[in-house]
Amino acid sequence: MANKCFYPIRYVSQCTGLTPHVIRAWEKRYQAVVPHRSSKNRRLYSEDDVQRLQLLKKITDTGNSISQVAKLSSTELLELAQHKSTAFTRTPKDKALLPQRSTDQDYFPFYFVDIMSKIILAPLRTCLSPSAKSRLQLFSG
């Protein structure tokens, strides 16, 4: 332990962007990391722990559930974080990991609403006051 550097939770929080509360929760609930303890029983994290927490944050920010990825090894986490072609998201009902699809079909409702709003709002613009036109501009972009 004398040769390695160990960091307090506040430093780890700043490096990872995770709050101390989240770090402690991930440690307790999912055994995401197992920090060393000082003589006063304070958590001390190794450089490997910090890197692992950074990877976990990156992966959970893309939509993965911490309960699904915390049990992966650091090598598997690194591969998952570097694998750009397959992103994962949680489904609302079962929170299972599923590949994220990006198709035109996903954007159809938004595209349809945009087109319809232009068709409906265009005739209204000709008969509105300047202040009403500016308010309408906020909605129609």
pLDDT in tens, 111-137: 555 565 666 666 655 666 676 666 656
> What torsion do the CA atoms of 41, 51, 56, 37 make, to the nearest 10 degrees?
-10
pLDDT for 46 beyond 70: yes
Total structural domains in the chain?
A: 2
Q: How confident is the model at residue 81 (pLDDT cuts 50, 70, 90)?
A: confident
**For the whole model, what pTM was predicted?**
0.58
Count of C-beta atoms within a 10 Å radius of residue 12: 23
In this structure, is residue 66 part of a structural domain? yes
Answer yes or no: do 56 and 122 share one domain. no
65 phi and psi angles, rounded to 5 deg:
-80, 135
For all residues of the chain together, what is the average pLDDT? Answer: 76
Top pLDDT among 65 and 124 is at 65
Q: Which 3 state secondary structure label does DSSP give 37?
A: strand
Answer yes or no: do 94 and 122 share one domain. no
Answer yes or no: do 95 and 113 share one domain. no
Range of the domain at 44: 6-99
In this structure, is residue 110 part of a structural domain? yes
For the chain, how are helix, strand and coil distributed in percent, rounded to 5? 55, 10, 35
Highest mean pLDDT (candidates 12-16, 92-96, 112-116): 12-16
Cβ atoms of 65 and 95 closer than 8 Å: yes
What CATH number does the domain containing 64 carry? Answer: 1.10.1660.10
Answer yes or no: do 20 and 86 share one domain. yes
User: Mean of the pLDDT values across residues 4-21?
Assistant: 94
Answer yes or no: do 26 and 89 share one domain. yes
What's the confidence (pLDDT) of residue 9?
Answer: 96
First to last CA, the chain: 59
Answer yes or no: do 111 and 131 share one domain. yes
In this structure, is residue 1 part of a structural domain? no
Q: How many CA atoms lie within 13 A of 71 on its CB side?
A: 4
Answer yes or no: do 52 and 90 share one domain. yes
